[in-house]
C-alpha cells in the first residue's frame, strides 16, 4: 500500500470515494505520443517548441499515477528553468547514479502545476482510481505539465477541491506548497499558534504572496502586506490588515513606524535581507524566512560539491549571526506533498483560500503566456487551459 504521512485520517476522509485496494489499472494503450510544449536547449522564449510526438509517460514505480492534464499554470521557476537555472542540481536529482546512456535532459517539458483526471494507477496506489479529479505540483526535476499527460508520485497528488474548476485549481498547488513550506514546515506556524501574531509578507501580490496572506489570515494572524499601490485593493480583499506601498517612500522607514513582527516571509530578497530582520521582536522566537536563496545558483556556478559546501557555509553563518541577535533566520523551498495539498483543499472548500488568477491562455498560446509572466507585475497566476488545445 502507498505509504504517506497522515495516512489514517486521509484514508477515513476519502473512504467513500475509493476502493480499499486494487492492482494496476492498465487500460489499452491508445497513445504512444502526445502533444506537449518542450525545450531542446536553454535560452529565451524562442526555445519553446510545440510537438505532437512527445513520448507518452509510463508508470515506472508502483506508487505512480498518470494524470490527464486539464489545466496547468506557470511560475517564475518555469522562466528560470527555461534559461537553464538550476540545471546542475536538477540533473543530479534526475540521474544521481549516472545510469542513463544519454546525458541530456532534453526534450524537457516545463510547467509544475496540474489539475486533471487520473488515467492509470500503479500497483501500490490505493488512494486514487482512474477517473478521480486531482491536483498536484510536480517537482522541477521531473517532466512538467505543459503536456496532455503527466506522471506523478501518488505522494504528490491530492483530490482537487470540489468547489474549484480545473482552471481555478491549477493556479494553486505550486505557490500553495511553497508558501506552506515556508510558513508551516520551516517557519513553524499553524492554526494552533498563529492567532494574534504579527506577520509581515514582503512581495504580497504575486502567486506565493497572495496565498500566504490568505493562509496566515485563516490561521488568525495580523497580516501586514508589502506590494505596489495598484495591488493594494486585491491584497486587502484577500485579508491583509495593513498594506504598505513600497513605491510611496523608503520601505524600511515606513515599516519601522509599525510595531515589531513575530514572523517575516520574504519573497523579494536582495537588499531587504539587510534590514528586514531588525523588524522582528528580539529574543521571542521571532523568525525570518526567505524564499530567495543562492542554493541552485551556487551549484550552477561552482559544481555540485563546491556549490553545496558554499551553500552550507552561507546559511550556517547567517543563521548563527542572527541567532546571536535574538532572531531566527531560515531558508525555505518548494516541497511536493500530497498530504499538505489535502489540508490546502480543506481550506479552499471551506472558503478560507481562493485562487488568484491574472490571465488564462489556451494551450496554443504557451509562448505568449511565458512572455506575459516575463513582463512581471502579475496579480496572481498565469493559467494554461490544456484540455482545450485551440
Task: Please state which of the ranges 9-13, 164-168, 228-232, 376-380 shows the lowest mean pLDDT.
Answer: 9-13
- The pTM of the full predicted model, rounded to 2 decimals, is 0.90
Does residue 14 surpass a pLDDT of 60? Answer: no
Residue 67's nearest CA partner among 126, 113, 2, 18 is 113
pLDDT band at 10 (very low <50, low <70, confident <90, very high): low
Q: How confident is the model at residue 101 (pLDDT cuts 50, 70, 90)?
A: low
Distance set, CA 71 to CA 64, 145, 385 (Å): 20, 8, 5
Q: What is the predicted pLDDT for the residue at 19? A: 43
Quick one: CA torsion of 202, 203, 204, 207, rounded to 10 degrees?
A: -140
Buried b (16+ CB within 10 A) or exposed e, 226-264: bbbeebbebbbebbbeebbebeeeebeeebeeeeebbbb
What's the chain's average pLDDT? 91
Over residues 83-101, the mean pLDDT reads 84
3-state secondary structure of 196: coil
**Model confidence at 20: pLDDT above 70:** no
Q: Which domains does the chain have, with CATH numbers?
A: 33-173+355-385 (3.90.180.10), 187-331 (3.40.50.720)
Asked if 227 and 290 count as a contact pair (C-beta separation under 8 A), the reply is: no
pLDDT of 183-205, one tens digit each?
Answer: 999 999 999 999 999 999 999 99
Q: Over range 360-370, report the average pLDDT.
A: 97
526535476: which residue's cell? 141
Band of the pLDDT at 23, cuts 50, 70, 90?
very low
Q: Please report the beta strands in 217-272, taking only residues with DSSP state E, as ranges in sequence order.
A: 222-227, 242-245, 263-266
- Give residue 389's pLDDT: 59
- For the record, the C-alpha cell of 250 comes out as 523608503
What size, in residues, is the chain?
A: 390
β-strand partners of 359: 382
Sign of CA dihedral 191, 357, 162, 61: negative
Amino acid at each position: 500500500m502507498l505509504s504517506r504521512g497522515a495516512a489514517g485520517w486521509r484514508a477515513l476522509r476519502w473512504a467513500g470515494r475509493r476502493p480499499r485496494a486494487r492492482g494496476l489499472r492498465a487500460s489499452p494503450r491508445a497513445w504512444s505520443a502526445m502533444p506537449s510544449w518542450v525545450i531542446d536547449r536553454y535560452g529565451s522564449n524562442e526555445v519553446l517548441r510545440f510537438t505532437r510526438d512527445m513520448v507518452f509517460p509510463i508508470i515506472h514505480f508502483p506508487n505512480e499515477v498518470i494524470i490527464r492534464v486539464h489545466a496547468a499554470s506557470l511560475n517564475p521557476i518555469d522562466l528560470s528553468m527555461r534559461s537553464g537555472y538550476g540545471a546542475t542540481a536538477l540533473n543530479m536529482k534526475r540521474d544521481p547514479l549516472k545510469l542513463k546512456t544519454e546525458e541530456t535532459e532534453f526534450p524537457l517539458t516545463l510547467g509544475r502545476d496540474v489539475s486533471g483526471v487520473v488515467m492509470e494507477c500503479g500497483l501500490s496506489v490505493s488512494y486514487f482510481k482512474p477517473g478521480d479529479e486531482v491536483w498536484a505540483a510536480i517537482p522541477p526535476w521531473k517532466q512538467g505539465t505543459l503536456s496532455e499527460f503527466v506522471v506523478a508520485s501518488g505522494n504528490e497528488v491530492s483530490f482537487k477541491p470540489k468547489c474549484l474548476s480545473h482552471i481555478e485549481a491549477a493556479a494553486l498547488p505550486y505557490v500553495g506548497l511553497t508558501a506552506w513550506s515556508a510558513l508551516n514546515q520551516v517557519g513553524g506556524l499553524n492554526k494552533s499558534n498563529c492567532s494574534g501574531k504579527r506577520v509581515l509578507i514582503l512581495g504580497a501580490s504575486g502567486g506565493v504572496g497572495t496565498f500566504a496572506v490568505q493562509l496566515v489570515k485563516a490561521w488568525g494572524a495580523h497580516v501586514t502586506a508589502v506590494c505596489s499601490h495598484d495591488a493594494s485593493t486585491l491584497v486587502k480583499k484577500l485579508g491583509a490588515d495593513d498594506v504598505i506601498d513600497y513605491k510611496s517612500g523608503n520601505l524600511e522607514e515606513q515599516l519601522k513606524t509599525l510595531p515589531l513582527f513575530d514572523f517575516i516571509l520574504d519573497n523579494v530578497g536582495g537588499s531587504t535581507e539587510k534590514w528586514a530582520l531588525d523588524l522582528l521582536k528580539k529574543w521571542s522566537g521571532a523568525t525570518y524566512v526567505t524564499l530567495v536563496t543562492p542554493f541552485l545558483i551556487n551549484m550552477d556556478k561552482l559544481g555540485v560539491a563546491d556549490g553545496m559546501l558554499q551553500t552550507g557555509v552561507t546559511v550556517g553563518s547567517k543563521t548563527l549571526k542572527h541567532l546571536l541577535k535574538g532572531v531566527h533566520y531560515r531558508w525555505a523551498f518548494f516541497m511536493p506533498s500530497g498530504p499538505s495539498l489535502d489540508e490546502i483543499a480543506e481550506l479552499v472548500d471551506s472558503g478560507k483560500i481562493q485562487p488568484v488568477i491574472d490571465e488564462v491562455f489556451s494551450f496554443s498560446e504557451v509562448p505568449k503566456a511565458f512572455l506575459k509572466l516575463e513582463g512581471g507585475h502579475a496579480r496572481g497566476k498565469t493559467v494554461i487551459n490544456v484540455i482545450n488545445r485551440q
